[in-house]
Structures are given as structure tokens and as C-alpha cells.
Amino acid sequence: MAKLKLDPNPTFARKVTFKSDEGDADVLFKFRHKTRIEFSEFWELHRKARPVSVDDENPDNLDIRAVLEWQTDFLLGIAESWDVVGDDGAPVALDRDSAFRFLNNIHDAYGAIAQAYGEGLQRAKLGNLKG
């Protein structure tokens, strides 16, 4: 029978696949585990910080830089590291500049990362049942 750990590991890894000119590209993220309360509080702060349009006639008219900064805050709040490389093939540290550049260059990154993180939290709970 499996043993349940009271406290799950503080991090978990998830692979996120993105489309690139060369085909599918996988990025392995090391995410921070958050309890249900921690995640709820984090998500509420993130949601409240979402940029809003100043144009009443066009609510979708958002400052893209503000949106990218908001997405960068989210990524840095959940991820500890990644295995992204630069043009020279050398590893790129996950920091504010690299996260912003990644989110700016990879159009589907924010949604894919958020989805993988949410699924990972669920699987981390389920994986905690392994013996």
C-alpha cells in the first residue's frame, strides 16, 4: 500500500511543449509547490493585478508591456528554474529579463505554462500517494 506524505515535495518538474520553427520544443520547468491556501492567495493577488484597459470603448485595448510584466510576475512566482537555452546553446537562467523575453517571443507561453502548473499541482497531490 502507498504511503501518503503529509507535506509534498517543495518543487515538482513539468515539461511544457511549445511550437517552434524547427518543430515542437520542450521546456522542463521546476515549479514551486503551493498549498491550496497559498495558491488561492497567489492567484487572487495575480488576478487583481491584471492590467485593465483605460479605453472604455475598447476594453481589450491593453498595454502589452504591462500584460507581459504581469505574466512575468506569475511565471517568477511559480517557477524556480527551466532548461531554456540561448542562441549559443548555453543555459539561460530564469530571471526577470529572460522570463519577459520568453513570454514576449513565445505567444502561447503564458497559457501553456499556467495550464501545466495547474495540472502539475493536481498530479503532485496524486503523485504524493506513490510509495
- Strand locations in the chain, DSSP E? 11-20, 23-32, 79-82
Considering the domain boundaries, does residue 67 fall inside one?
A: yes
Q: Give me the pLDDT at residue 80, please.
A: 97
Task: Report yes or no on 9 lying in a domain.
Answer: no
Q: What is the mean pLDDT of residues 107-115?
A: 94
Is residue 116 included in any domain, yes or no? Answer: yes
- Once rounded to an integer, what is the mean pLDDT over residues 7-35? 91
Domain span holding position 48:
14-127
Helix %, strand %, coil % of the chain (to 5): 45, 20, 35
Residue 8 domain-assigned (yes or no): no
The predicted pLDDT at position 1 comes to: 64
- Its pTM stands at 0.86
Q: In this structure, are residues 99 and 50 in contact, taking their beta carbons and an 8 Å threshold?
A: no
Domain-embedded: residue 6: no
Residues 42-74 pLDDT 10s: 999 999 999 988 777 777 788 999 999 999 999
CB neighbours (10 Å) of residue 29?
23
> Within a domain: residue 1?
no
Residue 99 in domain: yes
Q: Which is more confident, 56 or 33? A: 33
Count of domains for the chain = 1
Q: Is residue 3 in some structural domain? A: no
